[in-house]
A and B are shown apart, each in its own frame.
Chain A
Amino acid sequence: MGDIWRSNQREVIAVIVLAILLTLYFSTHPSGPTTYVMTIWANQCLILGLAAIAQFFAVIVRGIDLSVGAVMALTNCIASYLIIGTGLEVAGGILVVLAVGITCGLINGMLVVFGRIQPIVATLATGSLFLGIALLLRPTPGGSIDYDISDVMTLDIFGIPTTLIFALGIITFFWLPLRKTGLGTGLYAVGSSEQAAYQSGISVEKVRLASFALGGFFAALAGLFFSFVTTTGDAGIGPNFTLNSIAAVVLGGVLLRGGIGTLTGALAGAFILKTISSLMFFSGLPPLAQPLLEGLILAGAIAIGGADVLRVKNRLEVFGK
Chain B
Amino acid sequence: MVLSSTPVVRLSGVSKTYGSTKALTEVDFSCFSGEVHAILGENGAGKSTLIKLIAGVVQPTEGKITVNGKELVLKNPSIATSHGLVCMFQELSLVPDLSVRENIMLGAPGTGFGWLNSKVVPQAESILEQIDGAHIRMSMRVADLTLAERQQVEIAKALTRNPKLLILDESTSALNSSVVEKVFKLIRKQRELGVGVLFISHRFHEIEALADRISIFRNGQYVETFDNGAFDYGYIISRMVGQRIDDIFPPKKVFNTEAEEVLKLDSYSWKGGFNNVSITLRQGQITGFGGLDGQGQNEVLLGLFGLLKNTAGEIQIAGHSVKITHPKQAKAPDLGIALVPEDRKTEGLVLEQSIARNLELSALGTKGVNALDPTIYQTFLEALELKCNSLDQPVSQLSGGNQQKVALAKWLALNPRCLLLADPTRGIDVKTKTQIYALLRRLADSGIAVLLLSTDFEELIHLCDDAHIFYDGEIVSHLKGSELTAENIIAASLNIQTGGEVHG
> A interface vs B, CB < 8 Å?
3-4, 6-7, 180-183, 185-186, 188-189, 191-193, 195-203, 206, 210, 259-260, 312-316
Contacts and interface: CB of A to CB of B under 8 A. Distances in A.
Given A3-B139, A3-B141, A193-B96, A198 B77 contact: yes
Contacts of A315: 306-309
B49 to A, nearest CB: 15
B87, B106, B115: which has the most chain A beta carbons within 10 Å? B106
Nearest to A312: B309
B116 A185 contact: yes
Contact of A202 (B55, B107, B272, B299): B107
Contacts of B105: 185
Interface of B is mostly: loop
Contact of B116 (A182, A195, A210): A182
B93 interface: yes
A198 B76 contact: yes
A313 B115 contact: no
Contacts of B256: none
B368 interface: no
Interface string B82-118: 0000010101111111110011011100011111100
- Shortest 6 CB-CB contacts between residues of A and residues of B: A201-B78, A201-B107, A192-B97, A199-B93, A200-B107, A3-B139
Contacts of A312: 309
Interface of A is mostly: helix
Given A3-B137, A314-B309, A192 B98 contact: yes
B94 A182 contact: no
Given A6-B141, A189-B98, A192-B95, A182 B307 contact: no
B91 A6 contact: no
A188 to B, nearest CB: 5
Interface of B: 55, 57, 76-78, 81, 87, 89, 91-99, 102-103, 105-107, 111-116, 137, 139-141, 144, 270-272, 299, 302, 306-310, 347
A289 B306 CA distance: 44
A213 to B, nearest CB: 12
Contacts of A259: 95-97
15 contacts: A3-B141, A182-B106, A182-B111, A182-B113, A182-B116, A185-B116, A186-B113, A188-B95, A192-B95, A196-B93, A199-B89, A206-B113, A259-B97, A313-B271, A315-B309
A182 B115 CA distance: 6
A201 B113 contact: no
Contacts of A180: 115-116
Nearest to A311: B309
A87 to B, nearest CB: 33
A200 B95 CA distance: 9
Contacts of B308: 313-315
Contacts of A182: 106-107, 111-116
A4, A185, A192: which has the most chain B beta carbons within 10 Å? A185
A188 B113 contact: no
A7 B111 CA distance: 24
A313 B106 contact: no
Nearest to A204: B76
Contacts of B270: 313
Contacts of A314: 299, 302, 307-309
Contact of B106 (A3, A4, A7, A202): A202
B89 to A, nearest CB: 6
A316 B302 contact: yes
A204 to B, nearest CB: 9
B97 A188 contact: yes
A188 B112 CA distance: 15
